[in-house]
């Protein structure tokens, strides 16, 4: 049995996520298209939890009409060693705890299934830090696993997600991953996320949804 780990190879990690979350590729495309509305010259564009670096690199290509800095933040050393080979004149990667990162002069900040691994008590402070680092009119676009307040709905969404994963993984692989993530991943409800972002000052709107995963766009 293949044991789950986040320290996957550059070649396999994005495929692993795509095979775990239905619509992941469409989510990528949607965020890339949204970036065109917000990325501005002489600003910073940041991807929190950039893993393989492919997304931030694609975003730089998507917005090659802008002269800005693209920054990827990653806290996994295994990823970071490979990320260094992707650095370019306008793309830079940092091995850093995002909770201690200083966001400045940002027009667009993204995070795809990363913040759900932070302790719940630290999330408000990070969202506040992101808000403070965004320029007026800038956007924070992120996607997270959510938990439903309705136990019946939660059960149904979990079942549908499990059925999708069964197409790509063995039952043992699925159970192994669930055990590994049990104490690492603590989802908020959609209401909690919306309330937190609104309290900080964001104008928040869900724009993507699949099973118990939701994408949000937050505009400052």
Q: What domains can be seen in the chain, in order of their start residue?
A: 10-219 (3.40.50.150)
Q: Considering the chain, what percentage of its residues have pLDDT values greater than 90? A: 75
Give the whole-angstrom CA distance, residue 188 versus residue 161. 17
Q: Give per-residue pLDDT as tens, 107-158.
A: 999 999 999 999 999 999 999 999 999 999 999 999 999 999 999 999 999 9
Tell me, letter by letter, the H, E, C secondary structure of 40-60: CCCCEEEEECCCCCHHHHHHH
Look at residue 11 in the predicted model and tell me its pLDDT: 62
Return the higher-pLDDT residue of 47 and 120.
47
> How far apart (Å, rounded) are the C-alpha atoms in residues 45 and 35?
9
Percent of the chain with pLDDT over 70: 95
User: In 10 A of CB 63, how many CB atoms?
Assistant: 21
Surface-to-core class of residue 219, CB atoms within 10 Å of its CB (0-12 exposed, 13-18 middle, 19+ buried): middle
74-87: per-residue pLDDT in tens?
Answer: 998 888 888 988 89
What is the per-residue pLDDT for 8?
46
CA distance readout (Å), 220 to 47, 62, 112, 204: 17, 22, 19, 9
pLDDT at 177: 80
Per-chain mean pLDDT for the chain: 91
**Cβ–Cβ under 8 Å, residues 138 and 107:** yes
Supply the pLDDT for residue 175: 83
Average pLDDT over residues 31-41: 97
Grouping H, G, I as helix, E, B as strand and the rest as coil, residue 14 is: helix
Q: By the 8 A CB rule, do 190 and 108 touch?
A: no
**Is 90 exceeded by the pLDDT of residue 15?**
no
**Is the pTM value of this prediction over 0.85?**
yes
96 Cβ contact partners less than 8 Å away, ≥ 6 residues apart: 73, 74, 75
From 54-63, 90-99, 164-173, the region with the lowest mean pLDDT: 164-173
95, β-bridge pairs: 74
């Amino acid at each position: 049995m293949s044991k789950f780990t986040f320290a996957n190879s550059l070649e396999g990690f994005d495929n692993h996520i795509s095979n775990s979350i239905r619509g992941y590729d469409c989510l990528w495309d949607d965020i890339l298209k949204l970036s065109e509305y917000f990325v501005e010259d002489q600003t910073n564009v940041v991807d929190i939890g950039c893993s393989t670096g492919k997304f931030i690199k694609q975003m730089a290509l998507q917005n090659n009409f802008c002269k800005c800095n693209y920054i990827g933040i990653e806290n996994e050393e295994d990823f970071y060693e490979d990320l260094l080979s992707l650095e370019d004149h306008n793309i830079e990667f940092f091995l850093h705890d995002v909770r201690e990162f200083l966001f400045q002069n940002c027009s667009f900040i993204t995070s795809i299934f990363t913040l759900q691994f932070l302790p719940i008590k630290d999330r408000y402070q990070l969202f506040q830090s992101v808000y403070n680092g965004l320029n007026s009119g800038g956007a924070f676009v992120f996607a997270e696993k959510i938990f439903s307040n309705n136990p019946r709905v939660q059960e149904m969404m979990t079942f549908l997600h499990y059925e999708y994963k069964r197409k790509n993984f063995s039952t043992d692989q699925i159970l192994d991953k669930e055990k590994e993530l049990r104490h690492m991943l603590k989802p908020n409800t959609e209401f909690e996320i919306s309330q937190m972002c609104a309290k900080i000052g964001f104008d928040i709107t869900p724009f993507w949804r699949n099973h118990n995963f939701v994408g949000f766009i937050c505009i400052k």
